[in-house]
């Protein structure tokens, strides 16, 4: 009950192919000057040549990668329209998986191989993950497709997010596995659709999607919350993000993280997380406070005050225990406590000084010299 039969999978896959695909700009007939990908002198664009603005930027460890110069030549020679590198990778991976596991071939065909863009495949996957007997997969498919296919911001974000999962989660085997199996990715993309619906005034429908995500994935993100791009929700179980919370670009959140309020106050009452921050498992951040860019919140910390940029905080309540060298610790995912931190905790528990000097790691770790606040 509530499962989609193989015939329904096939029917839905065929139906989605009739939806409108991304509108593509017509290739200009006049020669225009464009910057050479390799940084050489400008040259005239030839018919069929790839244009920079038509390429979705792809994060490689948090930095936007330059498009492959060879791609320009290949497109010009073939006369084909430029492809989407992430979608191309998803398709190739799905084909290989179908060969390795024939029992999954129908599933992979319906979910990926029958579609011709990432947006359509994602809408199909989300619809079938979240459907129930009274909220049908076909209804959800229409909702997701309509929003995603007409929102360029979401189209860009779903690519940055899937790259983040692939780069930062060691257990993420491929783009294909992130798209099909990772509930953190599914929760995040459903939120993006719900957020768009919320901003359109369709708050009841947005709340219904939030409710289904909470039931199915155990993730509760208010549709009004603002979340940037290149986000990783690792494991995702138990993540709670409140209505007025703001999460910057390239942030990584582990399981059990709460970005909540402190009571029944109304208005702006939830945390604001700067870009590149790394928030450890089961960390709780409460109130309208700011987590600085590139900050690291240790697992289990209770944060009630502003956190300086590029600082490391831990404890209940959380205190600054050091500083990090990385610009964006969310990209390296090094969130283990240093040896100096444990020495500091031991000193405090045995009646040591009220403040200790946190020195750099012997092996070039993430701590810089910093006076620990107590």
pLDDT (tens, 9 = 90+) of the chain, 374 residues, equals 444 444 444 444 444 444 433 344 443 433 333 333 334 334 444 444 333 333 333 333 333 334 344 433 343 343 334 579 999 999 999 999 999 999 999 999 999 999 989 999 999 999 999 999 999 999 999 999 999 999 999 999 999 999 999 999 999 989 999 999 999 999 999 999 999 999 999 999 999 999 999 999 999 999 999 999 999 999 999 999 999 999 999 999 999 999 999 887 889 999 999 999 999 999 999 999 999 999 999 999 999 999 999 999 999 999 999 988 888 888 888 766 555 655 665 566 565 444 433 333 434 444 444 433 43
- Structural domains of the chain, ranges and CATH numbers in brackets: 1-17+33-223 (1.10.3130.10), 225-374 (2.160.10.10)
Q: What is the largest CA-CA distance in the chain?
A: 77
pLDDT tens, residue by residue, 75-119:
334 333 457 999 999 999 999 999 999 999 999 999 999 998 999
Instruction: Give the whole-number percent of the chain exceeding pLDDT 90.
Output: 61
Q: Residue 345: what pLDDT?
A: 57
Give the closest residue to 167 by CA, choosing from 363, 332, 341: 332
Q: Residue 40: what pLDDT?
A: 39
Q: Residue 249: what pLDDT?
A: 96
Q: Residue 265: what pLDDT?
A: 80
Q: Residue 104: what pLDDT?
A: 94
Q: How far is CA 56 from the centre of its chain?
A: 15
In this structure, the strands spanning 226-227 and 246-247 are parallel
Q: What is the CA radius of gyration of the chain?
A: 23
What global pTM score does this model have? Answer: 0.71
Supply the angle between the helices 85-100 and 118-130 in degrees, to the nearest 10.
60
- CA 148 vs CA 86, 93, 190, 192, 213: distances in Å: 16, 23, 10, 9, 17
Give the closest residue to 327 by CA, choosing from 254, 278, 276: 276
- Those residues whose C-beta lies under 8 Å from the C-beta of residue 3, and which sit 6 or more positions away, are none
Q: Residue 32: what pLDDT?
A: 36
Q: Across the strands, what pairs with 43?
A: 34
Q: What is the rounded average pLDDT for all residues in the chain? A: 78
């Amino acid at each position: 009950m509530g499962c989609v039969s193989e015939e329904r999978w096939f029917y839905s896959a065929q139906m989605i192919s009739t939806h409108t695909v991304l509108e593509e700009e017509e290739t200009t007939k006049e020669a225009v000057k464009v910057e050479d990908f390799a940084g050489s002198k400008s040259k005239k664009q030839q018919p069929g040549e790839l244009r920079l603005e038509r390429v979705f930027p792809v994060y490689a460890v948090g930095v936007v990668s330059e498009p492959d110069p060879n791609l320009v030549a290949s497109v010009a020679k073939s006369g084909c329209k430029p492809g989407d590198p992430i979608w191309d990778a998803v398709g190739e991976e799905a084909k290989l998986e179908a060969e390795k596991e024939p029992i999954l071939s129908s599933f992979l065909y319906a979910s990926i191989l029958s579609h011709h863009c990432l947006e359509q495949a994602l809408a199909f996957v989300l619809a079938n993950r979240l459907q129930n007997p009274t909220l049908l997969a076909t209804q959800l498919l229409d909702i997701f497709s309509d929003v995603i296919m007409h929102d360029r911001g979401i189209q860009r974000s779903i690519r940055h997010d899937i790259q983040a999962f692939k780069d930062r989660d060691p257990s993420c085997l491929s783009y294909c596995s992130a798209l099909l199996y990772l509930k953190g990715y599914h929760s995040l993309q459903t939120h993006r659709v719900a957020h768009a619906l919320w901003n359109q005034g369709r708050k009841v429908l947005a709340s219904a999607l939030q409710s289904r995500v909470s039931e199915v994935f155990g993730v509760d993100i208010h549709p009004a919350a603002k979340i940037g791009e290149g986000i990783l929700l690792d494991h995702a179980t138990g993540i709670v993000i409140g209505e007025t919370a703001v999460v910057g670009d390239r942030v990584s959140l582990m399981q059990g993280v709460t970005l909540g309020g402190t009571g029944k106050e109304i208005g702006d009452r939830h945390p604001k997380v700067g870009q590149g921050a790394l928030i450890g498992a089961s960390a709780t951040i409460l109130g309208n406070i700011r987590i600085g860019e590139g900050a690291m919140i240790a697992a289990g910390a209770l944060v009630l005050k502003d956190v300086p940029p590029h600082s490391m905080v831990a404890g209940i309540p959380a205190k600054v225990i050091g500083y990090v060298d990385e610009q964006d610790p969310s990209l390296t995912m090094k969130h283990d406590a240093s040896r100096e931190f444990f020495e500091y905790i031991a000193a405090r528990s045995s009646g040591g000084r009220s403040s200790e000097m946190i020195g750099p790691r012997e092996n070039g770790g993430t701590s810089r010299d910093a006076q620990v606040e107590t």
